[in-house]
């Protein structure tokens, strides 16, 4: 007789497990719990998990032989199941669980759910494709509107991760504060409207806006901004219609352009502006929703990236010190000008 003491071996009792779409194992009553993400090996063995504890049990040599033969048979059965069971090639709707994807174009992203968003690049982006010369040298794939997400940082610029989906905080037009037709979690609020000074301009209208979202209006330059002109830097407050400033033409070359419109917009005492500082010591104070030259908003620029040929050392929202903001419109199609030596696009561009 052979005596076994405190020996754990496997029997052939099946404890059923199930794996949900998240890849996490859930045990049946009495079963062990599979922590973390299941591999195909985990899932297969969870269907054939067995345990028997023998303590102070005496077995004959014949029993030991039967036990060994049975163990070999069980191993063969599991191996067969591993070879025949079909596992999903891809877990549905969970692409965003993977690591960040770097890119230089949309084609580098894993699927059409993404867009390649520039971190570094060169050239300019214009409203018409014929004027665009911007090339991405380093970018990151971001999820487009309507796709599953876990945080705002995974969504493309201008979108927020709300209830697990990338959405726009700004929706369709509505009629006014009493309009209750906006989707759930949205409310009807007044639009920013164009930055204007005259009081006879038409009302900007209303749109559905995500509750809790703060749209910073207006979207203009701070009062300390100096505009590049052939005569040198001129404060934006002193720029007049008909004056010459520097802009970019259809070929992306620096050219003189005539100012065709100027605006001044009163702001509340709570207004904030983005203080953008570049590695070559250029800096500008501008509303975060002001359009940049690369197709983004100034508020989308982040420290560590590049802009206008230099590194971004700081991009912070700070309180505004004045009672009005300003903007100008050059006569070029690009609508670009230099503010404190930094290339920006006019908010007044068509």
Helix (H, G, I), strand (E, B) or coil at 338: strand
Query: What's the pLDDT at 217?
Result: 66
Which tens digits make up the pLDDT trace of 198-227?
455 566 788 999 988 876 666 789 999 999
What pLDDT is attached to residue 232? Answer: 95
Q: Could you tell me what percent of the chain has a pLDDT over 90? A: 39
Nearest to 210 by CA among 187, 241, 233: 187
Task: Tell me what pLDDT residue 295 has.
Answer: 80
Q: How far apart are the first and last CA of the chain?
A: 96
Q: Are residues 305 and 200 both part of a single domain?
A: no
Q: What is the CATH number of the domain that holds 300?
A: 2.170.16.10
| Residues 23, 38 within the same domain | yes
pLDDT tens figures, 152-161: 889 988 788 9
* pTM of the predicted model as reported, rounded to 2 decimal places: 0.51
Residue 293 and residue 343: Cα distance in Å, rounded?
Answer: 6
Domain count, the chain: 4
Has residue 123 been placed in a domain? Answer: yes
Last residue within a domain, chosen from 67, 84, 101 = 84
Confirm whether 219 is domain-assigned.
no
Q: Can you tell me the mean pLDDT for 15-20? A: 35
Q: Is the pLDDT of residue 284 over 60?
A: yes
Query: Minimal CA–CA distance to 19: which of 48, 39, 1, 49?
Result: 39
Tens digit of each residue's pLDDT (9 = 90 or more) over 233-277: 999 999 999 999 999 988 889 999 999 999 888 877 778 899 999
Beta bridge partners of 8: 53
Return the bridge partners of 37, or none: 24
Q: Do 185 and 289 share a domain, yes or no?
A: no
Beta bridge partners, 24, equal 37
Token output for 204: 């900007």
| pLDDT score recorded for residue 121 | 72
Q: Does 98 map to a domain?
A: yes
75-79, 253-257, 296-300: range with highest mean pLDDT: 253-257
Sign of CA dihedral 278, 284, 289, 294: negative
Q: Are residues 245 and 339 in the same domain?
A: yes
- Domain span including residue 283: 226-345
């Amino acid at each position: 007789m052979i005596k076994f003491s405190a020996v754990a071996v496997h029997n052939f009792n099946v404890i059923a497990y199930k794996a949900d779409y998240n890849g996490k194992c859930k045990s049946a009553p009495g079963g062990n719990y599979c922590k973390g993400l299941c591999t195909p090996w985990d899932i297969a063995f969870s269907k054939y998990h067995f345990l028997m504890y023998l303590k102070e049990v005496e077995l004959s040599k014949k029993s030991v032989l039967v036990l060994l033969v049975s163990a070999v048979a069980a191993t063969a059965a599991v191996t067969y199941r591993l070879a025949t069971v079909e596992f999903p090639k891809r877990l549905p709707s969970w692409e965003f669980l993977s690591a960040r994807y770097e890119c230089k174009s949309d084609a580098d992203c894993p699927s059409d759910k993404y867009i390649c968003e520039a971190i570094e690049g060169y050239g300019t982006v214009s409203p018409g494709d014929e004027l665009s010369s911007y090339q991405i040298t380093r970018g990151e794939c971001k999820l487009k509107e309507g796709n599953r997400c876990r945080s705002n940082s995974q969504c493309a610029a201008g979108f927020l991760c709300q209830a697990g989906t990338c959405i726009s905080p700004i929706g369709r037009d509505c009629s006014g504060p009493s309009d209750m037709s906006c989707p759930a979690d949205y409310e009807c609020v007044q639009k920013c409207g164009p930055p204007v000074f005259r009081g006879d301009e038409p009302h900007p209208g209303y749109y559905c806006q995500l509750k809790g979202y703060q749209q910073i209006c207006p979207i203009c330059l701070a009062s300390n901004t100096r505009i590049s002109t052939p005569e040198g830097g001129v404060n934006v407050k002193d720029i007049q219609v008909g004056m010459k400033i520097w802009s970019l033409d259809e070929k992306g070359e620096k050219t003189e352009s005539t100012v065709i419109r100027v605006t001044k917009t009163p702001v509340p005492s709570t207004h904030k502006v983005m203080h953008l500082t570049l590695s070559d010591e250029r800096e500008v104070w501008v509303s975060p929703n002001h359009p940049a030259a690369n197709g983004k908003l100034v508020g989308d620029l982040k420290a560590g990236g590049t802009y206008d040929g230099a590194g971004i050392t700081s991009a912070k929202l700070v309180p505004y010190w004045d009672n009005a903001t300003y903007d100008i419109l050059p006569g070029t199609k690009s609508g670009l000008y230099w503010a404190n030596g930094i290339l920006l696009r006019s908010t007044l561009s068509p």
